[in-house]
Amino acid sequence: MKRINVTEPFLPPFEEYVDYMKGIWERNWLTNQGPLVQELEQKLQAYHGLTMPVHCVANGSLGLQIALKALGIKGEVITTPFSYVATTACPIWEGCTVKFADIEPDTLTIDPKAVEATITSQTEAILATHVFGNPCDCEALEAITNKHGLALIFDAAHAFGVTFNGKSVLGYGDASMVSLHATKLFHTVEGGFIVSKDAAVSEKMEWMRRFGHKGQDEFHGVGMNAKLSEFHAAMGLCNLNHIDEILEKRKVICDAYDKALPSHQSSAINYQLSSIVYRKGASRNYAYYPVLFQSESELLDAIVRFEANGIYPSRYFYPSLNRLTKSFKMQSRELALSENVASRILCLPLAASIDDVGVERVVRQLKRY
């Protein structure tokens, strides 16, 4: 039985990557803002319909750290407990103090009302995740950060290509980071990009990722090394040529799962298995396919059954990040909604490489509910 994993990286045809390698060999320009990185930045900017520049970085986590640094955030950051661990670790790594605010139980994004209730005189920024590519309540968060004079940063690691109210979701807030890691929808093996519509912040991001260089021997300030290499950019350029096909394949799989979910088939109130709520006005990028069970024990039973059939879904995201307070040496705080969701959510296999037979095997399991 062929193993079906929660995700599989997309690989372009080998020859297409080799073609880019020939150019790299001819130029012998391997990193330091080479022509392929520049081309990728332009194409990502155009793809997202942005007017602000796109700054590629070595990975999304460094991108988040640079965004915090460029915005001058050093103190208290309010963030979501329902995300990947990097959303919490990056501000802590930057010396910030992290406070959690609970999530909306249907969209799973941070709840603006909970955010406002968590703000203190020490708060400097909100760091919110468009989790599973589902946009946060961006307008409400912007209203809060404007009212309190705070920075608004989006962890848009999952939000490649997502539009909200007809425009790229990356246009909201003061800065956004998209991850281009191998497991993401669109990738450069390792990589990411950051944007800010504030020209001064954007300029800082640009030099902070490459040691602060202002020409050869002058410096804008303290920088670090978060450069994307030409080899990574080449993977991005190859994959970008296949993005429509990747999205179409993922959509077909999601449509099949949608149809198989009991909540789509019956009018019973208590579904054993249900989908999350995608925010109105948002496009779906099919980055993940999360389903909610009614309880953790049902989820654990389901995992056993999936695995017995060679299917390996993943508990994204578990545990709720406020439960990691011991590792992070933070004060713990109960967050009922995020902890509840984290205990009973499962991401189903979703990758362009899963064939019809694979999809049918997952669907057969879903139909048991």
Which residue, judged by CB position, is nearest to ligand PLP in the bound state? Answer: 60
**Is residue 155 within a helix (H) or strand (E), and if so which, with residue range?**
strand 151-155
In the complex with ligand PLP, the residue whose CB is nearer, 157 or 354, is 157
In the complex with ligand PLP, the residue whose CB is nearer, 55 or 181, is 181
CB of 185 to ligand PLP, least distance (A): 11
Q: Which residues bind ligand PLP (CB under 6 A)?
A: 59-61, 83-84, 86-87, 129, 155, 157-158, 179, 181, 192
**Shortest CA distance to 317 belongs to which of 94, 162, 134?**
134
In b/e form, how buried is each residue of 53-66, taking b as 16+ CB within 10 angstroms?
bbbbbbbbbbbbbb
CB-based contact 360:4 (threshold 8 Å): no
CB of 219 to ligand PLP, least distance (A): 26
**Shortest CA distance to 87 belongs to which of 64, 62, 115, 118?**
64
In the complex with ligand PLP, the residue whose CB is nearer, 239 or 273, is 239
CB of 361 to ligand PLP, least distance (A): 26
In the complex with ligand PLP, the residue whose CB is nearer, 160 or 271, is 160
In the complex with ligand PLP, the residue whose CB is nearer, 184 or 344, is 184
DSSP 324-356: GTTTTT------HHHHHHHHHEEEPP--TT--H
Query: For the chain, how big is the Rg over CA atoms in Å?
Result: 21
Q: Running DSSP on this structure, what letter comes out for residue 83?
A: S
User: What is the rounded distance in angstroms from the CA atom of residue 63 to the CA atom of residue 190?
Assistant: 12
CB of 269 to ligand PLP, least distance (A): 32
CB of 342 to ligand PLP, least distance (A): 14
Q: Which two tokens stand for residue 58?
A: 């070595």
